[in-house]
Amino acid sequence: MAKIVTMPSTPNFIRSNFVLRRAVGSIASPYTGKVRTQEYDGVFWESTVSLPPMRRDVAKNWQSFLLELNGPVNHFKFADPDALTNLGTYNADDLKAKNRVNETSIELDFSATTQTITAPSNTTPFSNAVVGDFIVVTGSANPENNGTHKITTITNAYTVVVESESGGLVTEADKTGCKIQSNRKGATGLNLASSTNSATGTILKGDYLQITSSSTTGANPVQYVMVTQDATLNVISGADTYGVKIQPKLRTAITANHLIRFATPKGLFRLTSNDIDWDADNISNYGISFSCIEVV
């Protein structure tokens, strides 16, 4: 079983390259030039970093860290070196996941004209939703109706107007067996709430979030995501709630009260190579660089 090795905190890197890798297949027609794409589950961060010149008394800490990683076997917590502090003003360490919509089997109508999703009038799937929440729909016969949608208007407890990640809904009536859920695998938007009623502030485009493994404070990261749109803020029963658009998509579903780290968020990474090397000159200035990839 892999162990987590603590990375030295100083010095910070002087150069970094941060990449999001996606598994997307594409095929182009040789006759029309039209391209069809297929997105797969594989999506993860990769980075190459370089440390400043160091004397041996400092370099030994990084040498020991890299050797303890045992190539790609063990893991370490790591973040974008140029974005260690978020831009938003949210003033607590963590947020909590809030699954305000969770219907596992329901009939739905979809309207391309009004961009509405409507359930039967004797149901209340959106009774706990707020404007700005993200919902994940599955079960439609049309791929445009499935996936992540942002609620822009709540007409009543069974009808919402949405902004679709697919670019727009397709008209479809009386589709049974659909699901409408929050914070599900594949979601590109999270529904969150402040960890306490006194916690408040903004979550801004470009901020990173750490998806943790549980609702326990200090739980290890399982995914590292970036906020791609300023979060929508509402207040419910004295607590700030947030609809947060993210990339990449959520790798696994998160349950209610699952913790999302805002303060100094990190992901879980491993080295990409079995080999470790460093350079040194005649006055014991050491140069160290390495590449790593997010654990999936």
Helix-strand-coil split of the chain, %, nearest 5:
5, 45, 50
Q: Kindly provide the b/e burial profile for residues 90-101, where b requires at least 16 CB atoms within 10 angstroms of the residue's own CB.
A: beeebbbbbbbb
Name the residue with tokens 């004397």: 55
The first and second tokens of residue 230, run together, are 């300023």
For residue range 116-156, list pLDDT tens digits in order.
999 999 999 999 999 999 999 999 999 999 999 999 999 99
- Identify the pLDDT of residue 237: 84
Banded model confidence at residue 257, pLDDT cuts 50, 70, 90: very high
What's the pLDDT score for residue 238?
85
pLDDT in tens, 205-217: 999 999 999 999 9
pLDDT, position 166: 85
